[in-house]
Amino acid sequence: MKEIAIQSRSRCEMIDITAAVQKAAGEENILSGIGVVYTLHTTAAVTINENADPDVRRDILAALERAVPLVADYRHAEGNSAAHVKSSLVGVSEMVIVENGRLVLGTWQSLFFCEFDGPRSRKVLVKFIT
């Protein structure tokens, strides 16, 4: 198992972790297998989406904000209920496939850590099975 440390800089942010996950696969000499990319937090998530136009990330975060507003009829006193909801909607993990030592991703796909209650120091775990 490998650990990736992440420092988010905004309240909501999508951070590309593809290279770090690929590096973890290399360090563990994974030629063919699957991997769990998992974040240990309850106000964050992991997703796979487009890495080309940064406006896609901006639009995803804005659409999540519209669907799950920051301020609403929440009871949780910490003020970050929307972040908890987004975490369960997007999900705290993604699965990746490895072949020939490389993550198998579509042309436009990257792995993103999703911060929904930053800025914070965060952790992502990567565990491969062959």
Residues that bind its own copies (CB under 8 A): 1, 33-34, 36, 38-42, 47-50, 53, 55-56, 58-60, 62-64, 66-68, 72-78, 81-82, 84-85, 87-95, 97, 99, 104-109, 125, 127, 129-130
Measured from the CB atom, the residue of 43 and 119 that comes closer to its own copies is: 43
Burial (CB count <10 Å: 0-12, 13-18, 19+), residue 76? exposed
Measured from the CB atom, the residue of 5 and 73 that comes closer to its own copies is: 73
What CA–CA distance (Å, rounded) separates 15 from 18? Answer: 9
Q: How far is the CB of 101 from its own copies (least distance, A)?
A: 14
What is the distance, to the nearest Å, from the Cα of residue 78 to the centroid of all Cα atoms in its chain? 22
Measured from the CB atom, the residue of 19 and 89 that comes closer to its own copies is: 89
Q: How far is the CB of 60 from its own copies (least distance, A)?
A: 5
What is the distance, to the nearest Å, from the Cα of residue 108 to the centroid of all Cα atoms in its chain? 16
Q: How far is the CB of 23 from its own copies (least distance, A)?
A: 18
Q: What is the DSSP letter of 89?
A: H
Question: Could you tell me if residue 101 is left (phi over 0), alpha (psi between -120 and 50 degrees) or otherwise beta?
Answer: left
